[in-house]
Amino acid sequence: MHVLDLDYMLGLLPILLGYLPLTLEMAGAGMLAALVLASLLAVVRVQRTPGLNALAMLFISFFRGTPLLVQLFLFYYGLPQILTFLVAINGITATILGLTLHFSAYMAESIRAAIVGVDRSQTEAALSIGMTQGQLMRRIILPQATRVATPTLMNYFIDMIKSTSLAFTLGVTELMGATQKEAASSFLYFEAFLLAAIIYWIVVEILSWLQRRLEKRLNRAYQR
């Protein structure tokens, strides 16, 4: 049994940190796209838009009902066989696409619950002064739903950051992929993966701290 090789870990740290931006970029892009898609899905579900509602339900059901890894393989290895223009899709794009579709399905349901949770009488009040459905959504409902949904959405974001590690299975050298390569050449698997775990952990802790500050800010209007 060997003792933890701290020198190796210290030397590895800057190398692995060099791959952190790609991890964060994939998660950031995926989160932004997922937020937009999830909000649209949620509004369609709440307003029961004919036709679109059924499609939204099917979409949510599929992307919640299948593993993210299966979806990534489907997009990256499977779809290009059928839709040939997708042959050029690279692993990073496929990962962002997969994260977006997968997480938007979950987020749509939390946003929908948050929208439904806004006191019905405020809807009536907005309509009573002549606001349109769109104005009501944008100015009254969504800002309040955002506050309710934020903790859950932040949790999905954290989950998404960790899920970017699956990009490694599509041949993307991000934090996880880089760790795997380094470990394979040094044979110090424990040190390498422990370091990767610590980096993910610290990133998530920083985000949790930001989440608490954000929630405090959003709750300001509701303090008695």
Q: What is the CA radius of gyration of the chain?
A: 21
Select the residue interacting with other proteins from 81, 84, 121, 185 (CB under 8 A).
121
Q: Which of 118, 107, 117 is nearest to 140 (CA)?
A: 118
Q: Looking at 27-35, 180-188, 201-209, 215-223, which segment touches other proteins (CB under 8 A)?
A: 215-223
Q: How far apart are CA 43 and CA 63, in angstroms?
A: 18
Site string for other proteins, 90-119 (x = CB under 8 A): -----------------------------x
List CB contacts of 159: < 8 A, sequence separation 6 or more: 103
Residues 135-154 that bind other proteins (CB under 8 A): 135, 139-140, 143-144, 147
What the block records as the tokens of 6 is: 């701290």
Cα–Cα separations (whole angstroms), residue 100 to 28, 34, 35, 114: 10, 5, 8, 20
Rounded CA separation 210/183 (Å): 32
- If binding is defined by CB under 8 A, does position 131 make contact with other proteins? yes
Determine which residue in the list 4, 66, 90, 124 makes contact with other proteins, applying CB under 8 A. 124
**DSSP single-letter state for residue 88:** G
Q: How far is the CB of 153 from other proteins (least distance, A)?
A: 17
User: Shortest approach of other proteins to residue 96 CB, angstroms?
Assistant: 32
Q: Taking the CB of residue 152, how many other CB atoms lie within 10 A of it?
A: 16
Instruction: Pick the closer one to other proteins by CB: 39 or 165.
Output: 39
Residues 6+ apart with CB under 8 A from 173: 19, 22, 181
Instruction: Spell out, one character per residue from 182 to 211, where the chain touches other proteins: x when CB under 8 A holds, - when not.
Output: ------------------------------
Is residue 122 near other proteins by the rule CB under 8 A? yes
Query: Considering the complex, what minimum distance in angstroms separates the CB of residue 8 from other proteins?
Result: 52
Reading the block at residue 106, the tokens are 């979950």
Cβ proximity to other proteins, 46 vs 136, nearer residue: 136
Q: How many residues make up the chain in this entry?
A: 224
Closer by beta carbon to other proteins, 21 or else 117 = 117
Binding residues for other proteins, rule: CB under 8 A, are 119, 121-122, 124-132, 135, 139-140, 143-144, 147, 221-224
